[in-house]
Homo-oligomer: A and B are copies of this chain.
Amino acid sequence: MSTRTAAPTRREQILSEAARLFAERGFHGVGVDEIGAAVGISGPGLYRHFAGKDAMLAELLVGISGRLLDGGKLRVRGAGAAGDPAAVLASLIDGHIDFALDDRPLITLHDRELDRLRDSDRKLVRQLQRQYVELWVTVVRELYPAVPESQARGAVHAVFGLLNSTPHLGSPSGGLPGRAATESLLRRLAHGAFAALGETGEAGGTDEPGDAAGRG
């Protein structure tokens, strides 16, 4: 069990600070000297631990994509044993919220700096991302069999956008009171979005039909 507290001090420390800086100012907006300064060493000392700046970003993105996928698989296996898609989806949502709140910088990087990777790394990250998305899509389709796959996939992406909005609420302008409240809010909104996805076609009491493509 090599969980936390082990702290291979420097490497992880560097990755953590690099993630924060990349998320704040963008990959190109951060210099190696700044990353080094953030961990107490200066500039080129980083090259004792990483092959280069690109390698840091690659490891961050591959790492986060992998952990996200692993966590998702675990939750599907765990909650899916009961055969209740709703419970699985709820578990996936909770897991993603935890992730988004625990590692905001990484979540931000996840869909912002992907293009800076070498082809091989980018392909790997995309593959992990796609698997994670498919995990969700499968569950959503089990829960709402009437929803076509393209809509389910679109809804999943959209809910990701919703959940990943955490970086925009956090520090500035005094957002939500506490973490628990943010969790609760995001959970409710995500469930509401998926619920609306299920109400295909008619139903919606509040707005005009407008469901089919025939809106002029």
Q: Which residues of A contact B (CB under 8 A)?
A: 24-29, 86, 90, 111-113, 115-116, 130, 150-151, 153-155, 157-165, 168-169, 173-178, 180-197, 199, 204-208, 210-215
Copy number in the complex reads: 2
| Pair B191/A195 contact, Cβ less than 8 Å | no
| Pair B173/A130 contact, Cβ less than 8 Å | yes
Residues on B with C-beta less than 8 A from A158 are: 162-163, 165, 169, 185-186, 189
How distant is the Cα of A113 from the Cα of B160 in the complex, in angstroms?
20
| Pair B191/A206 contact, Cβ less than 8 Å | yes
Identify which of A25, A163, A189, A215 gathers the most chain B CB atoms within 10 Å of its CB.
Answer: A189
| Pair B168/A161 contact, Cβ less than 8 Å | yes
A184 CB → nearest B CB, Å: 4
Q: Can you name 14 A-B residue pairings with CB atoms under 8 Å?
A: A154-B176, A157-B165, A157-B169, A157-B175, A158-B162, A161-B161, A178-B213, A180-B214, A181-B214, A187-B210, A189-B196, A189-B197, A191-B204, A193-B193
